[in-house]
Amino acid sequence: MKRTIFRLSGVVLLSLLFTSCIVSKKKFDAETARAEKEKAEKIALGKKLDEQVDINKKLNATNGELKNNIAALNGRIGRLKDSIGNLENSVRELNNRINVLGDEKENTKRQLNSTKEQIASQRQRLEQLQALLDQQQQAAEALRSKIAEALKGFNSNELTIKMKNGKVYISMQESLLFPSGSAIVNPKGKDALSKVASVLNTGSDININIEGHTDSIPIRTAKFADNWELSTARATSIAHVLIDEYQVSPAKLVASGRSEYDPIAPNSTPEGRGQNRRTEIILEPKLDELMKLMEKK
């Protein structure tokens, strides 16, 4: 009985030991498998960590490049902002210039319109002036023809008639009008003056200027101290003949002496001096409208 029990106890003990060994091996295998798994996971994790490190390095490098690119872009943006600011200033200046040019254009337009009006006014004035000048020329030519007709009996060495600057010049030599050194008009001279007066008295629109002229040889007599006095006296004497004897209106007349200072020929020859000893009756048709127009600004 005891032996049987002992055997049973041995069997049980062996069973327990065998079971224990089996359990320990399974546990060992499980732990080993778990350790291998953990090792594999650590290795995988290490690889992932290495990969992540590489990725982080690449990301850092990329971030650096991006930061550099961003800095470059920010710099470019700053320069573009400056350029935009300069362009805006240029645009403002251009707009201001455009406004100024617009104002100048308007001013120029107004000035041009004003100038056109002034030109039109000046053209009209010039046309009126030319018409009056033509009228004066025609009147002077008509007067010259009447004077020439009235004096056709006198020789050219005694008097000449010419037109100059719209005026009629009757140039009478000393030999026709006066004795040498005298201011008293002789009969033949009075005859010539009467014919001139007959024309002058036919109209009131003539200005008459009488000018006495001498040669350059000095004169000094009891009556005339020099050629100024002689030339003035002769002009005045002719004015008195026209007024007193032939009723020419004194309001038309101006008498003056020019002495030797307006010669028409050289005083170096007797012939030239003879031409310079003359009295000129200068006739100018009176055109009041012409004078008014010339006085306008």
End-to-end CA gap in the chain: 171
Quote the tokens at residue 75: 């710099």
User: Mapping DSSP to helix (H, G, I), strand (E, B) and coil, where does residue 239 land?
Assistant: helix
* Higher pLDDT pick, 286 / 151: 151
Is 197 exposed, middle or buried, given 0-12, 13-18 or 19+ CB atoms closer than 10 A? Answer: buried
Annotated domain spans of the chain: 1-137, 151-295
Note whether 235 and 279 are within 8 A (CB).
Answer: yes
Sheet strands side by side (includes 278-285): 159-164, 167-173, 278-285, 206-212, 253-257
| Residue showing tokens 């310079």 | 276
* Higher pLDDT pick, 214 / 288: 214
Is 170 exposed, middle or buried, given 0-12, 13-18 or 19+ CB atoms closer than 10 A? Answer: buried
Contacts with 81 (C-beta within 8 Å, 6 or more apart), sequence order: none
pLDDT at 297 (0 to 100): 55
Q: Is the pLDDT assigned to residue 179 strictly greater than 70? A: yes
| Band of residue 77 on the pLDDT scale cut at 50, 70, 90 | confident
Angle (deg, nearest 10), helices 2-150 and 187-200: 130
Considering only CA atoms, which of 199, 198, 189 is closest in space to residue 145? 199
- pTM for the whole structure: 0.59
Quote the tokens at residue 275: 């031409």
Over residues 176-204, mean pLDDT: 93
Contacts with 178 (C-beta within 8 Å, 6 or more apart), sequence order: 184, 185, 186, 189, 234
73-82, 152-161, 282-291: the lowest-pLDDT one:
282-291
Tell me the pLDDT tens digit for each residue of 116-164.
Answer: 888 888 788 778 777 777 877 888 898 899 999 999 999 999 999 999 9
pLDDT at 12 (0 to 100): 60
- Residue 238: CB atoms within 10 A of its CB come to 27
| Band of residue 261 on the pLDDT scale cut at 50, 70, 90 | very high
Tell me the pLDDT tens digit for each residue of 13-25.
Answer: 666 666 666 667 7
| Band of residue 3 on the pLDDT scale cut at 50, 70, 90 | low
Helices and strands (DSSP H and E) totals, the chain: 6, 5
d(CA 171, CA 281) in angstroms, rounded, equals 7
- Residue 207: CB atoms within 10 A of its CB come to 15
24-38, 196-210, 215-229: the lowest-pLDDT one:
24-38
DSSP state of 185: P
Query: What CATH number matches the domain at 151-295, 1.20.120.1810, 3.10.20.600, 1.10.10.60, 3.30.1330.60?
Result: 3.30.1330.60
Angle (deg, nearest 10), helices 288-295 and 2-150: 150
Average model confidence (pLDDT) for the chain?
Answer: 85
51-65, 138-152, 263-277: the lowest-pLDDT one:
51-65
Tell me the pLDDT tens digit for each residue of 34-47.
Answer: 888 888 888 887 78
